[in-house]
Every structure is written in structure tokens, then in C-alpha cells.
Amino acid sequence: MPTDSRRLQGPENTTAYTLYLPNSKSYNDLVGEIITSDEKRKDGRKLYEQRRIFVKTGVISQAKGSAYLEQNNTKVVCSVFDPREIPRKSDYSVNGELYCEFKFAPFSCIKWRSHQPDTQEKECSLILRRALEPAVCRHEFPNFQVDVYALVLENDGSALAASITCAGLALADASVPMYDLVVAATLGIHGDKKFMDPSVEEEFLCNIPPPDGKSCNHGIITAAFSPAHQQLSEFTQSGAMDIDCVTSSIQLLREACETIYPLSQHCILKSVTKMLKKKQTETKLDLNSDRIAC
């Protein structure tokens, strides 16, 4: 009887079963490494404290607009290209479209990532598009689409939120008409502990249910906001948590996004000021050359 020799694909992400045991030494060690006795995290931050953010626009010369965001060891670069006709579409589209692609660089994670997009990357691409669409004036470019590419160079947690913030800056740098900038933040929940802007280790802990049975709340929440309009453009959640936990978490994420928003505004203002000074210098040089020619 012939046998099937095809290799079955296993799960993409697995978790050791010992972490779910109530008296597991590895679980206790993991919690002890992440949270110290004085309620501080491994990197010295408080539970509701974010990492410092560095942003810069105009980092890719081949793109219409681009941005780079560095959040400690989480590094993301985004590029936006000129609008083009929507491929394989016969009917007329009143509103333009956004094509978003989220990708982990092969060397960005502890585990080597494949060049082919996996399930997590496809899901993050969809979340990225849903987060950006409400802030873009899509009626300004009907029957056209704008391509947005987000590449995670190094992943140390909260990569999706960093990509959303970085992509919003790249769209503004590309002079795409927008109602407002989009900023995002991530919150990790594990029992009664909430980690603002979690690292990779903290995200791993938050995906494990607390073994004590006191609280079943655990998971990751990522929210994208347009602070000028007080609009929640995207909300995604993994894990299990009650409605009170989700409500309080949204308020914490809103406050975190309001602290990131001025940084994005200052970055765009600096970029526009630099561009205007460059144009003024070029205009003066052209006038001087015309006078010399005369």
C-alpha cells in the first residue's frame, strides 16, 4: 500500500508546555527576570513607562516619502511610493486605495524569518492598512493606489505599533493628503500587571495565562489613534480579557498615543522647514545665475 511521503508543516509559533504548569520553575524564573522586586522592568522602566523614540523622515531616496523609527532595540523603516493605477480593476473607484505590506527582515528576530510572508505578517499588513485608511483623504486620488511598505529591521517588541506610527510619518513625508497623523501604542496584559510598550520577553509572558487563577486576563492590545480628531482608527487584541480590562487599557493607550503625537508633529515640522529652506536656497541660486547671464 503506498504511503504519503509529503512533509507536514508544523505550527509557526510554539510555546513550551512547562510554562503552563502552576509550579513551573521556568515560569517563575521568567516572571522574576521581567519584573523586579521594586515593580520595575528588566530595562529599568516602570510598568506604564514607554521607551524613548527616535524618528526621522526622508531616509530612502528612491521613495516618494519615507520614515525611520527607533524604539530602543525595535527599529522600523517605512517607504511610500507615488500613486499608481489600481491593478486588475476594471470598474471606476471613487476612493483611492492603500496597499500596505508589513515584513520582518530575516535577521530581525531571534528566529530566522523566511523571505515569504507568513500568517503573522499578512495579518499585520491588514491591520496596518485599516489603521491608516481613516486618516488618508482617499477621495483625492480616485482610481489610484498608494503603496506603503513597512520593514522591521530589529524586533524587540511592539513592532506593529512602531510600524503604524512610522507609516503615518512616511505618508505625510510623501505629501499624501491626510486628515491627521496616525500614532499607535501597544499594551501587554498579564493578570493584574500591564506593560506599556512591551519588549519581546514581556510579549511572550503576556501570551501565557496566569497560573494562579486569580485573573484570567492576558494578551496584547494594539491601538491606533488620530489624536487631533480623537478617533480610534484601529484596535486589535490577542489573548483573553474581560470588558473592564479592555476599557481601562484603551484609556491607557490613548494617553500613550497623545504623548507620541507631539513627537511626530515636530518631526514633520522639521522636515517641512528643511525643505522650504532648500527651495529658498535654490531660488536664490537661480536668480543669481540669471543676473550673471544678463
Domains, in order of start, for the chain:
26-85+95-277 (3.30.230.70)
Cβ pair 71, 53 in contact under 8 A = yes
> In this predicted structure, what is the pLDDT of residue 282?
75
The DSSP H or E segment spanning 271 is helix 243-293
Round to whole Å and give the CA distance between 10 and 271. 47
- The closest of 161, 169, 149, 163 to 58, measured between CA atoms, is 169
Round to whole Å and give the CA distance between 216 and 101. 34
> In this predicted structure, what is the pLDDT of residue 283?
77
Task: Please state, as a whole number, how many other Cβ atoms lie within 10 Å of the Cβ of residue 29.
Answer: 10
Cα dist from 63 to 78, 104, 149, 163, 176, whole Å: 10, 19, 10, 17, 13
User: Cell digits for 140?
Assistant: 483625492
The DSSP H or E segment spanning 56 is strand 53-57
The DSSP H or E segment spanning 257 is helix 243-293
Round to whole Å and give the CA distance between 63 and 66. 6
> In this predicted structure, what is the pLDDT of residue 80?
95
Cβ pair 164, 184 in contact under 8 A = yes
First to last CA, the chain: 94
Instruction: Encode pLDDT of 234-281 as tens digits.
Output: 999 988 888 888 899 999 999 999 999 999 999 999 888 988 888 888
> In this predicted structure, what is the pLDDT of residue 18?
52
The DSSP H or E segment spanning 201 is helix 200-206
**Residue bearing cell 497560573:** 211
> In this predicted structure, what is the pLDDT of residue 27?
59
Cβ pair 150, 167 in contact under 8 A = yes
Which mean pLDDT values do the consecutive 10-residue runs of the chain (294 residues) have? 54 56 57 69 84 91 92 93 84 87 89 83 93 92 92 91 94 92 92 88 84 76 91 90 89 92 92 85 71 62
The two counts, helices (H) then strands (E), for the chain are 5, 10
